[in-house]
Structure 1
Amino acid sequence: MVILVLGLVLFLGAHSVRMLADGWRSGVIARRGEGAWKGVYSLVSIAGLALIVWGYGLARQQPVLLWNPPRGMNHLAALLMLVSFVLLVAAYVPRNGIKARLGHPMFAGVKVWAFAHLLANGTLADVVLFGSFLVWAVLGFLAAKRRDRAAGVQRAPGNGGATAGTLLLGVAFWALFAFWAHAWLFGVRPLGA
Structure 2
Amino acid sequence: MSLLVLGLILFLGIHSVSIVAPAWRDAQVARLGERVWKGMYALASLVGLMLLIYGYGLARQTPVVLYTPPPAMRHVALLLMLPVFPLLFAAYLPGRIQRTARHPMLLAVKLWAASHLLANGTLADVLLFGGFLIWAVADRISVKHRAVQHKVPGAPPGALNDLIALAVGLTAYVVFIFWGHAWLVGVSPMAF
TM-score above 0.5, yes or no: yes
- 1:59 matched residue in structure 2: 59
Identity %: 52
CA RMSD, Structure 1 to Structure 2 (Å)? 1.6
Number of the residue aligned with 2:11 = 11
Amino acid at match of 1:70: P
Deviations 1:15-46 (A, max 9, x none): 11111111111111111101110111111111
Q: Report SS of the residue matched to 2:43.
A: helix
The within-5 A match list for 1:68-147 is: 68-93=68-93, 95-147=94-146
Does the CA contact (< 8 Å) of 2:143 and 2:149 recur in 1? Answer: no
Give deviations 1:118-157, integer Å, cap 9, x for gaps. 000010110011000000000111111222xx4599xxxx
Q: Distance in 1 between matches of 2:148 and 2:181?
A: 39
C-alpha distance in 2 between matches for 1:112 and 1:134:
8
TM-superposed deviation, 1:192:
2.2
The answer to which structure has the higher helix fraction is 1
Contact 2:59 2:124 in 1 (8 A): yes
Q: Does 1:169 align with 2:162?
A: no
The TM-score normalised by the length of structure 2 is: 0.92
* Structure 1 portions without partners, runs of 5+: none
Normalising by structure 1, what TM-score?
Answer: 0.91
Q: How does 1:20-35 map to 2 (within 5 A)?
A: 20-35=20-35
Contact 1:86 1:169 in 2 (8 A): yes
| Deviation for aligned residue 1:82 | 1.1
Between Structure 1 and Structure 2, how many residues are aligned? 186
Structure 1 contact 179–189 (Cα < 8 Å) conserved: yes
Contact 1:117 1:130 in 2 (8 A): yes
1:186 aligns to what?
A: 185
Measure, in 1, the Cα distance between the counterparts of 2:149 and 2:183. 44
| 8 A Cα contact 2:90 2:161, kept in partner | no
Say whether the 8 Å CA contact 1:75–1:191 is kept in structure 2: no
Which residue of structure 2 lines up, in the alignment, with residue 41 of structure 1? 41
Partner AA of 1:132 in structure 2: G
Per the TM alignment, residue 166 of structure 1 is displaced from its structure 2 partner at its CA by 1.3
Structure 1 runs (4+) greater than 6 angstroms displaced: none
